[in-house]
Amino acid sequence: MAGRTILHSDANCFYASVELLHHPELRGKPVAVGGDPEARHGIVLTADYVAKRCGVKTGMALWQARQACPEVVFLPPRMDLYLRFSHMAREIYAEYTDLQEPFGIDESWLDVTASASLKGDGMAIAEELRERMKRELGITVSVGVSFNKIFAKLGSDYKKPDAITGMREWEFREKAWPLPASDLLYVGRSTRAKLYKLGILTIGDLATAPEEVLHAHLGKMGSILWAFANGYDDSPVKAEGFHAPIKSIGNSTTSPRDLVNNEDVKIVLYLLAESVARRLRENGFRCRVVEVSVRDNDLFCFTRQRKLDYATNVTGEIAGEAFTLFVENYDWGKPIRSVGVRGSDLVTDNYWEQLDLFSSVERREKQMKVDAAVDEVRKRFGFFAVQRGLMHCDERLSHLDAREEHTVHPHGYFG
């Protein structure tokens, strides 16, 4: 994999930039995109640079942002608009390479090795991209130019906005190594703490540490990070249109009010399970593991999972299992803010299965038919056309169509 040219292009404050393009009257003012005026889970998704300078950060609750910056203007997110711009950005990237790997809605890796003879070297292509994004889409990007994905990403974070940073073979020691280790992809809070205990503060420290020590303390991840820091990352940029195989299907939501008893949780879990099971069915999967995640109103969270006897995509089975898991693992020390359901260890729909003597195959088949019928009705008449009786216990909680919400989170790097 010698001599690759990899770019990482990152749209600066993407949501906020798209909004500012469309609202010239707000330019130069502190602006934050985020929140849902109807529900209460209002957090900042993106802030522009003016707001960031006043201390508004992504992930802050709206009231905190207001405290940090009283003049901040809150814009409700318009996801469809951002998706359109993301799509247009990818069209521009596609003129330079078919090896384009999006990482979330606003970032992409591009392997432009083969374009170098036609379009110039990595820096020249990066310059052209930066210019075109500004002129054609009215937003700015920062681009990292390197020989691998990890350093390319580091480069795009190095200088913002509207900037280009090279992180090539001859310069990464000088530029990347003084950076804190936590700037590296996959060094989160807990890894950073572990590295800190080993006296490793910068990417350079990480690169020059003995690999065995890192492996001993961090396991496989230790070796991977060591390789990242030394520029040995040779993971390919995945071709355009390639989607990582789905490994799990899940859904979570912050409920319109805190959940205070099992009954509340049951409503939300069933609702989420409906969406998870339906997506499993749509994609021709069954899951063999069900997982629940719980976050209390102190934002403490945990997950529990269980292997099933049968692979399933029956709504009732997934919901029932999730609820049992929850009841076994939660003692109601605190009210709950959000819950999630996930099905993983997926197998295809026609997966062959050992039957057991004591469960009723007919009953299961009936349930599958019911699910199929419900899917059909909902496809024709909308999600709320058919509801479980349970959903009428608390209509405020149950009035969420979980499936329709956009998923924009990046796939994992290791795909």
Give the binding site for another protein (CB under 8 A). Answer: 21-26, 35, 37, 40, 42, 62-63, 66, 73-76, 78, 84-85, 87-88, 134-139
Pairing of strands 141-146, 164-167: parallel
Nearer to another protein, 87 or 159 (CB): 87
Pairing of strands 100-102, 301-312: unpaired
6, 110 Cβ separation under 8 angstroms: yes
328 as an active site residue: the answer is: no
Name the nearest CA neighbour of 138 among 24, 7, 8.
Answer: 24
Nearer to another protein, 31 or 203 (CB): 31
Q: Which residues pair with 401 in a beta bridge?
A: none
Type of residue found at 71:
E
User: Which DSSP letter does residue 135 get?
Assistant: I
Minimum CB–partner distance for residue 75 and another protein (Å)? 5
List the end-to-end C-alpha distance of the chain, in Å, as a whole number: 19
Q: How would you write 169-189 as a 3-class SS string?
A: CCCHHHHCCCCEHHHCCCCCH
The phi and psi torsions of 207 (rounded to 5 degrees) equal -65, -35
Interatomic CA distance for residues 218 and 198, integer angstroms = 11
Minimum CB–partner distance for residue 19 and another protein (Å)? 8
Question: Prior bond to 236 cis, omega within 30?
Answer: no
Minimum CB–partner distance for residue 77 and another protein (Å)? 10
Q: Is 12 helix (H, G, I), strand (E, B) or coil?
A: coil
Interatomic CA distance for residues 85 and 17, integer angstroms = 10
Helix (H) or strand (E) holding 267, with range, is: helix 262-282
- E strands, 349-410, are none
Pair of tokens at residue 201:
């503060």
Pair of tokens at residue 144:
């990292």
Q: How many CB atoms lie within 10 A of CB 144?
A: 28
The phi and psi torsions of 216 (rounded to 5 degrees) equal -65, -35
Nearer to another protein, 23 or 392 (CB): 23
Nearer to another protein, 35 or 340 (CB): 35
How far is CA 180 from each of CA 15, 119, 154, 216, 229, rounded to the nearest angstrom? 27, 34, 11, 21, 11
Minimum CB–partner distance for residue 78 and another protein (Å)? 7
Nearer to another protein, 3 or 24 (CB): 24
Nearer to another protein, 91 or 263 (CB): 91
Nearer to another protein, 106 or 233 (CB): 106
Q: How many CB atoms lie within 10 A of CB 219?
A: 10
30, 71 Cβ separation under 8 angstroms: yes
Catalytic position from the list 19, 101, 107, 321: 107
Residues with catalytic roles: 107
